[in-house]
Amino acid sequence: MKAGTVLLAVGAALLLPMSARSSEITVVGSTTVQPLAELLAEAYQAVNPGVIITVSGGGSSVGVTSAGNGLCDVGMASREIKESERQEFPSMAIHVIARDGIAIVTNPGVGVTNLSKSQVRDIFTGDITNWSEVGGPDQDIVVVSREEGSGTRAAFEEMVMEGVFLITGAAVLQPSNGAVVTTVASTPYSIAYISFGYMNESVAAVSVNGIAPTAANASAGRYPIVRPLCMLTPGTPQGDVKAWLDFIMSPDGQAIVSDEGYLPVQ
């Protein structure tokens, strides 16, 4: 091929519209938001094949610091952004894409169907240690919790533990919502907290203050443990990142949010 032809080919490639080029968006953070983000990415890529969106976990704190430091295009967090984080990363933009309830779940063999919010708190502090104290069998309670840095844990600590009471040191710690579900399903007399989006038939959901953990109850303001799901960008989103976030907030994107058991914000 002649040099002039090569130059013309390169020039033509440079003049291609953005939709015809390969563009990558990196997304990092909350394991609660991760499966939802993956579905939203798949739906967007189906009509925008020139955009590649890679989604990975790590926890909400990783999502905040990665976005704040510009180490990814989009961070994910499943909790309120702390004031200290807002001050550390003043240019970081926060986009609430959905809301999510936190469900209290037990191993199906426990048989307790309702707990007051204060009983939940006392179980997780270790003040209540036997199921018989809350109407269940005479068996020791196995507390399962997320690790430090988890957005689900941070939201639970804020809304249930009131930011003051500490989760018992005897708790079995797990790195993700999925790992929590697997542990509770296989561990007799266990209890944990998980995102609504991870509830399934392998664990038993518990009502809190007599209110069942359903999307309808959360949307109506009846269920007491609800938190935001956030996408974070290093600054004002531009280009393909903005286009993807716009899709997420569109009727099609919010329909996916609703279909997955989360609460749409539009």
Mean per-residue pLDDT over the chain, rounded: 91
pLDDT at 138 over 90: yes
Q: What is the mean pLDDT of residues 123-136?
A: 99
The dotted CATH code for 101-226 is: 3.40.190.10
pLDDT at 12 over 70: no
Residue ranges of domains in the chain = 22-98+228-264, 101-226
Same fold, 22-98+228-264 and 101-226: yes
pTM strictly above 0.95: no
Task: Dump pLDDT digits (tens) for 35-68.
Answer: 999 999 999 999 999 999 999 999 999 999 999 9
Task: Dump pLDDT digits (tens) for 172-206.
Answer: 999 999 999 999 999 999 999 999 989 999 999 99
Two tokens, residue 137: 């069998």
Residues contacting residue 70 through CB under 8 Å, at least 6 positions apart? 234
Percent of residues, the chain, with pLDDT higher than 70: 92
Q: With contact defined as beta carbons under 8 Å apart, do 126 and 143 qualify? A: yes
Percent of residues, the chain, with pLDDT higher than 90: 86
Looking at CATH, the fold of the domain delimited by 22-98+228-264 is given as D-Maltodextrin-Binding Protein; domain 2 (3.40.190)
